[in-house]
Chain A
Amino acid sequence: MTAEATVEVRAVRGAEPRRRAGWLIVARKEFADHLASARFIILLLVLGAATLIPLYIAADAIRNVADLVTDNRGAFLLLFLATSTDSPVPNVLTFVSIVAPLLGVAFAFDAINSERSDGTLPRLLSQPIYRDDVINGKFAAGLAVIALVMFAVFAVISGFGIFRLGIIPSADDAIRLLTWYALTVVWVGLWLALGLVLSVAMRRAANAALAGFGIWIAIAIFGRLVVEAIAGALAPISSAASLQEQLDLAGLQNAILRVLPLTLFQEASAVLLRPDKTTVTTPATIDQLEQLGQQLQGQYLPFDQSALLIWPHVVALAAMTALCFAAAYIWFMRQEVRA
Chain B
Amino acid sequence: MTTATRPSRRRRGGASEGSGTGSSAPIRTRALTKRYGHRIAVDTLDLEVRSGEIFGLLGQNGAGKTTTILMLLGLTEPSGGSSRVVGMDPTRHPLEVKRRVGYLPDSVGFYGNMTGRENLRYTARLNGLRGDDAEAHIDAVLEQVGLTDRADGRTETYSRGMLQRLGIADALIKDPDVLILDEPTASIDPIGVIEILDLLRRLVRERGMTVLLSSHLLDQVQTVCDRVGIFAHGRLIGVGTVAELAATFGDGAAHLEVAFQPHGPDPREALRAVEGVDGVELDADAGTWRITVRPVSASPRVREAIVDAAARGGLRMTSLHELEPSLEDIYRTAVAGMTRGFAVDETIEEASA
Contact = CB atoms under 8 A, between A and B. Distances in A.
* A associates with B: yes
Interface of A: 12, 15-16, 18-20, 22, 25-26, 29, 33, 36, 118-120, 122-130, 336-338
Contacts of A123: 103, 105, 108-110, 123, 167, 170
A26 B123 CA distance: 10
Contacts of A336: 76
Interface string B88-114: 000000011011010101111111110
A25 B167 contact: no
A127 B106 CA distance: 16
9 A-B pairs with the lowest CB-CB distances in the bound complex, closest first? A119-B109, A122-B105, A127-B126, A126-B103, A128-B99, A118-B109, A128-B98, A337-B75, A128-B95
B105 A127 contact: no
Contacts of A119: 105, 107-109
A119 B99 CA distance: 20
Contact of B113 (A15, A25, A36, A130): A36
Contact of B105 (A22, A26, A126): A126
B75 A127 contact: no
A128 B4 CA distance: 11
B172 interface: no
Nearest to B122: A29
B7 interface: yes
Nearest to A29: B122
A254 to B, nearest CB: 48
B66 interface: yes
Given A20-B128, A126-B105, A338-B66, 8 more contacts: A118-B111, A120-B110, A122-B75, A123-B167, A126-B103, A127-B174, A338-B67, A338-B70
A333 B325 CA distance: 46
Of the four ranges (under 10, 10 to 19, 20 to 34, 35 or more), the interface on chain B belongs to 20 to 34
A16 B3 CA distance: 12
B287 to A, nearest CB: 48
A79 to B, nearest CB: 38
A18 B128 CA distance: 9
A29 B126 CA distance: 11
Counting chain B CB atoms within 10 Å of each CB, the highest count among A26, A36, A129 belongs to: A129
B69 to A, nearest CB: 10
A131 B109 CA distance: 18
Contact of B70 (A12, A36, A337): A337
Contacts of B123: 123, 127
Give the secondary structure class of A's interface: loop
Counting chain A CB atoms within 10 Å of each CB, the highest count among B67, B98, B167 belongs to: B98
Contacts of A126: 73, 75, 98, 101, 103, 105
Contact of B127 (A12, A16, A118, A127): A127
Contacts of B319: none
B313 to A, nearest CB: 61
Contacts of B103: 122-123, 126
B87 to A, nearest CB: 16
A31 B105 CA distance: 26
B12 interface: no
Contacts of A128: 7, 95-96, 98-99, 126-128, 174
A16 B70 CA distance: 25
A16 B99 CA distance: 13
B112 A127 contact: no
Contacts of B174: 127-128
A2 to B, nearest CB: 16
Contacts of A16: 5
Contacts of A29: 122, 125
Contacts of B70: 122, 337-338
A307 B103 CA distance: 52
Contacts of B7: 128
A20 B124 CA distance: 12
A336 to B, nearest CB: 7
A127 B171 CA distance: 9
A118 B75 CA distance: 18
24 contacts: A15-B5, A18-B128, A19-B128, A25-B125, A29-B125, A33-B111, A36-B113, A118-B109, A118-B112, A119-B105, A120-B109, A120-B111, A123-B110, A123-B167, A124-B126, A126-B73, A126-B105, A127-B98, A127-B123, A128-B127, A129-B126, A130-B95, A337-B76, A338-B76
Nearest to A127: B126
B177 to A, nearest CB: 13
A18 B103 CA distance: 24
B100 to A, nearest CB: 9
Nearest to B125: A25
Nearest to A16: B5
B75 A25 contact: no
Contacts of B73: 126
A119 B101 CA distance: 19
Nearest to B111: A120
Nearest to A114: B111
A12 B127 CA distance: 16
A33 B75 contact: no
Nearest to B182: A122
Nearest to B4: A16
